[in-house]
Structure 1
């Protein structure tokens, strides 16, 4: 066995970060609370188990974290996001908890006012009021602004009439709707005095306390899914359902008793995006949990690869551990390095969420953009990594007991819920292109294209503490060493600038006759711009984390992981770097060799590195992983005995 070259405890502290206490609190709660996955159960039994486990979470006090202290909460929305990240071994529970306390409860906190907080929050926290977040419709998923459900104010009765005007306007795939939800936050077009004021949210009862569906409401069960079958997704229709005027969540728009509409935000577009921006906790939670699922999959696969032996090494009489093969290392170790990079980027995102209340408008848009981009990149990373881990474990990885099949099924939908990833990357690009200007909300396609071309290049390189550190490193960059941090940062920096500059040139071709076509034809370039921007953001978060690491040996280990993350990224994108003469063929070959070398250097520490994430041990149930740990401990004991 190779001795550890870093302080595992120091690495854990760095990875736990600012919310170490929350992470440890969840680990401790899981030691005292059995929350096993119900994937082996039939649908109804799985749903019943998940609801029972939700009540167990209530007893732990964890759900209170994200709610205001004046109503019995912990006043830490960011800590609440971190707590969900710690539930990767039971993703049905994580999603149902996210719906109840993140989406439903979070919407009441963010969009409601004191009258709603006082009346509902304690019941939401305690699960006395199970709820839904009813935004998505059959005909409009990503295009929330065009939802068709209506909420028409009737001044005579002082009620809103909530209605589903046609089949495509039904609320679709709504968590907690099919079985347990009693109230829904319903997003609908608000109409008063014959005028529409855009999408607003209202509290609409969908079931009575007895479980009977409310009058005027029709609910259909979405049925069994590929995964997450502990979550009761349903479709909801409203047939002229009346709710009191006070049920409007009125922080950003209100209707007086006589039907007069008022809002603190004059622009309807700006009001809409402000409302949605307050709800990004769900998106950030999905990113964190997807990252957690990838880490769990990597721990299973790396533990198994560390002990699974295949083919004899000539002259030794011993078979070789599959993780000693370079091909196996190349499957898993770049994914581990990327998991580290995304973990630190998620840390920065959660920290920004904590400061959201004091952020100015530009910082708010930056947060929304970063949340969208990291959600897309992290969920795609999880999907890819879990599949790679399944293949790396051969037939054993296909067995349900070894968890990878369940992780694959449960996380597959993450790429399309809380925002379709392709649409989210377009949101990132629009945020870059408009530089978060006030005009954004009211720009048409042509005006957007012209504004983009004139103003955005270079504006996306924000002046933050980390960015200043990065720029100092770039300024010292060498020209020949691919392991030089300044050179690596310059490659990511330069790629982003080049892609954005090229996109601006394409958009300058727009005029009134072809604005849509120009923008649509550049969509591949738009998505590319968003992707390379997020790559740069993730890398810089990694740089900042290493800069915070006080232990030299641990920082050196993280340096190797960062080298692997950077060079694997460049290797995967080498066509672009070669086409644009950022590297030559000789350097491209050197990068491939460096990736090989780094994989071999990191291999002896692979299991320790994935353990450092601190995934709660209760989630690691795969026999190929737990048996591997027993085998590993036996080998370490033998090493201690004979000194070999």
Structure 2
């Protein structure tokens, strides 16, 4: 194996970098290129330290400019004047993530969440009434799902919309202080309309009210002149750690009456006499179908988070290539000189594995966006595609969680790698850190999302599992899934399969063998899945909740290792698509670094389960060192391939 830390005098040539950019740009390259040219000034970050009110006003003005450029219309159906390019819309959102993140969030609320809910959950009359003005930005709105006391637990929302057959209206009420809508973007300053998620309640005279579960309603908040309407109470959430260009607010409703037609009724309707009906009889299936149509928001957040991570790593890698610290003595033909900090192995190990994972996440995100586009481009999900939709939701949840955690780690590491300069606002990193921190909890708390991933994997996407409470879910798992999982994995000895994958090779050759790597990741996922199922089987003989609660560490690991496999497989497919030999070689090295740093971080599991010997574990560490040294000369080229305009990076240390 080569010595770690060795460097070359030059990185990849322009043609190689361009080949990487072309591969990264993918199917919607034209959207990315348009953003880099026409949108370069519009999407650039605003100067730090703006007063909050000025910042909000400028973000709102830029939202209007985005509308004029046609960005939002791209993601709406053609029959309402949109472009029918769902994938292009998500790609555009990802590009906005390189610039001002308050603008990204404000745009996401207006068109991804508010407009997306109207398009996905409403019917033709809602589309005709609202979507043209939503797309143009003339009708600013909110997506009011989260409550002070109910974040991830959407099914338990405390806002009620009770039907009054006498007036044919719904009466929207905040039933308790914890049912107040909270952290709602566009609420504190600009929103005139909200899509409000509430329990739909009907009652015949003299009978007990019946809740039909959470549904979405169009509720007016303000008059055209900005005056808050009677019965609506709005307050500002106040100063946040970041994203202060977004007017987050709290909304309460005191018996606000809305017409019966304001129910977004694609999946359920209420007749004049109060009779409730739905084409989906099962309440839980209906609920998850409604939420599933909104998966685009979760996918967009993961993509935008990835953009912020790439931006931070670009700043840190470029700075590390030029910043010099401590002299190295003369040796052979090397003169005595200060050393670029990126030549130090410790610095390479901080940044290059994160760069490799950013590439892996990018390719997996691209596949996810393409799958979403193909599945949803023709409108509502057909029944025959429900399985694909559930799989899409599972991948979206897993990638959003892992991507946003990766962003948090990448920005913090980049900040530290830039020393004191990284703490200065002029170098962009502090604002990136402040603005992205909330990504780990909006559009779904990451830990809860990983539990969703594991649940879907364990139940093999059973149609009726959404009907089950914790006890029912655990019993379903133990009775119908455990035996299937165990039977599948017991049919072969995994270690024999891994040993047979690359017989007779030395440590480095085997560790860098893609077939072996894919087998190792698949084996780990299957073993962890089987182990989780075995632990949950104990619930049949005791306290189901306690068993499930105690197994949550195992359940979360199921999701994590599943996403690791998805990332490796997406990375491998991207390498196969690359036609430039030099670029392909760089990608091979990056993929190897992603794999081996993932194994290195989980060495305890691999050794505890006899997948690695102590000697082989040490070989993994050494291989990571060597890969960092090999990739160091290409590091700047690898971040340049993201093709982030300098106006968006906007860091003084790069000038």
Q: Smaller-chain TM-score range?
A: over 0.9
Residues 146/14 of structure 1: CA separation in 2 closer, same or farther (3 Å cut)? same
Question: Structure 1 stretch 324-333 or stretch 71-80: which is displaced more?
Answer: 71-80
**Residue 618 of structure 1 pairs with residue 627 of structure 2:** no
Asked whether the equivalents of residues 304 and 393 of structure 1 are also in contact (C-alpha less than 8 Å), the reply is yes
Residues 33/473 of structure 1: CA separation in 2 closer, same or farther (3 Å cut)? farther
> Alignment length, in residue pairs?
616
**Residue 533 of structure 1 pairs with residue 542 of structure 2:** no
**Residue 374 of structure 1 pairs with residue 399 of structure 2:** yes
Secondary structure of 1:212's match? coil
Structure-2 separation of matches of 1:143 and 1:78 = 28
Asked whether the equivalents of residues 43 and 100 of structure 2 are also in contact (C-alpha less than 8 Å), the reply is no
Question: Structure 1 stretch 219-228 or stretch 604-613: which is displaced more?
Answer: 604-613
Counterpart of 2:78 (choices 69, 78, 81) is 69
Structure-2 separation of matches of 1:225 and 1:593 = 43
Question: Structure 1 stretch 614-623 or stretch 128-137: which is displaced more?
Answer: 614-623
Tell me how far 1:553 sits from its aligned partner: 2.2
Tell me how far 1:198 sits from its aligned partner: 0.3
Tell me how far 1:31 sits from its aligned partner: 3.3
Q: Provide the residue aligned with 2:254 in structure 1.
A: 239
Structure-2 separation of matches of 1:255 and 1:371 = 32
**Residue 170 of structure 1 pairs with residue 160 of structure 2:** no
Counterpart of 2:461 (choices 428, 431, 436) is 436
**Residue 91 of structure 1 pairs with residue 101 of structure 2:** yes
Tell me how far 1:511 sits from its aligned partner: 2.5
Question: Structure 1 stretch 3-12 or stretch 253-262: which is displaced more?
Answer: 3-12
Asked whether the equivalents of residues 435 and 459 of structure 1 are also in contact (C-alpha less than 8 Å), the reply is no
Tell me how far 1:79 sits from its aligned partner: 1.2
Secondary structure of 1:84's match? helix
Q: Provide the residue aligned with 1:48 in structure 2.
A: 57
Asked whether the equivalents of residues 426 and 527 of structure 1 are also in contact (C-alpha less than 8 Å), the reply is yes
Q: Provide the residue aligned with 2:475 in structure 1.
A: 450
Instruction: Please list every run of at least 4 consecutive aligned residues from structure 1 whose deviation after the TM superposition is greater than 3 angstroms.
Output: 31-36, 453-461, 472-480
Q: Provide the residue aligned with 2:489 in structure 1.
A: none
Secondary structure of 1:355's match? helix
Asked whether the equivalents of residues 150 and 162 of structure 1 are also in contact (C-alpha less than 8 Å), the reply is yes
* TM-score of the aligned structures, taking structure 2 as reference length: 0.92
Q: Provide the residue aligned with 2:494 in structure 1.
A: none
Q: Provide the residue aligned with 1:208 in structure 2.
A: 223
**Residue 4 of structure 1 pairs with residue 12 of structure 2:** yes
Tell me how far 1:76 sits from its aligned partner: 1.2
Structure-2 separation of matches of 1:451 and 1:200 = 27
Structure-2 separation of matches of 1:135 and 1:187 = 5
Q: Provide the residue aligned with 1:497 in structure 2.
A: 526
The 5 A counterparts of 1:317-336 are 317-336=336-355
| 1:60-116 per-position Cα deviation (integer Å, ceiling 9, x unaligned) | 111111011122211112211110111222100000000000000000000000000
Q: Provide the residue aligned with 1:181 in structure 2.
A: 191
Residues 154/449 of structure 1: CA separation in 2 closer, same or farther (3 Å cut)? same
Q: Provide the residue aligned with 1:632 in structure 2.
A: none
| 1:437-456 per-position Cα deviation (integer Å, ceiling 9, x unaligned) | 11212223333223323544
Please list every run of 5 or more consecutive structure 1 residues that lacks an aligned counterpart in the other structure: 462-471, 628-644
Structure-2 separation of matches of 1:578 and 1:103 = 45
Relative contact order higher in (CA < 8 Å, ≥ 6 apart) = 2
Tell me how far 1:401 sits from its aligned partner: 0.4
**Residue 13 of structure 1 pairs with residue 13 of structure 2:** no
RMSD value, Cα: 1.8
Asked whether the equivalents of residues 478 and 486 of structure 1 are also in contact (C-alpha less than 8 Å), the reply is no
Counterpart of 1:199 (choices 214, 221, 224) is 214
Asked whether the equivalents of residues 435 and 455 of structure 1 are also in contact (C-alpha less than 8 Å), the reply is no
Q: Provide the residue aligned with 1:402 in structure 2.
A: 427
Asked whether the equivalents of residues 175 and 232 of structure 1 are also in contact (C-alpha less than 8 Å), the reply is yes
**Residue 26 of structure 1 pairs with residue 35 of structure 2:** yes
Asked whether the equivalents of residues 43 and 648 of structure 2 are also in contact (C-alpha less than 8 Å), the reply is no
The 5 A counterparts of 1:158-557 are 158-193=168-203, 194-315=209-330, 316-357=335-376, 360-456=385-481, 476-478=501-503, 480=505, 481-511=510-540, 513-557=542-586
Asked whether the equivalents of residues 267 and 286 of structure 2 are also in contact (C-alpha less than 8 Å), the reply is yes
Structure-2 separation of matches of 1:38 and 1:72 = 35
Tell me how far 1:623 sits from its aligned partner: 1.1
Structure-1 separation of matches of 2:147 and 2:345 = 48
Residues 34/276 of structure 1: CA separation in 2 closer, same or farther (3 Å cut)? closer
Asked whether the equivalents of residues 457 and 500 of structure 1 are also in contact (C-alpha less than 8 Å), the reply is no
Asked whether the equivalents of residues 107 and 279 of structure 1 are also in contact (C-alpha less than 8 Å), the reply is yes
Structure-2 separation of matches of 1:288 and 1:477 = 36
Structure-1 separation of matches of 2:653 and 2:410 = 18
Structure-1 separation of matches of 2:50 and 2:457 = 46
Structure-1 separation of matches of 2:586 and 2:451 = 35
| 1:128-150 per-position Cα deviation (integer Å, ceiling 9, x unaligned) | 10000000001111000000100
Structure-2 separation of matches of 1:548 and 1:61 = 31
**Residue 130 of structure 1 pairs with residue 145 of structure 2:** no
Question: Structure 1 stretch 1-10 or stretch 180-189: which is displaced more?
Answer: 1-10
Question: Structure 1 stretch 294-303 or stretch 613-622: which is displaced more?
Answer: 613-622
Please list every run of 5 or more consecutive structure 2 residues that lacks an aligned counterpart in the other structure: 1-8, 204-208, 377-381, 487-496
Asked whether the equivalents of residues 236 and 248 of structure 2 are also in contact (C-alpha less than 8 Å), the reply is yes
Secondary structure of 2:39's match? helix
Question: Structure 1 stretch 186-195 or stretch 107-116: which is displaced more?
Answer: 186-195
**Residue 581 of structure 1 pairs with residue 610 of structure 2:** yes
Asked whether the equivalents of residues 66 and 79 of structure 1 are also in contact (C-alpha less than 8 Å), the reply is yes
Secondary structure of 2:511's match? coil
**Residue 154 of structure 1 pairs with residue 164 of structure 2:** yes
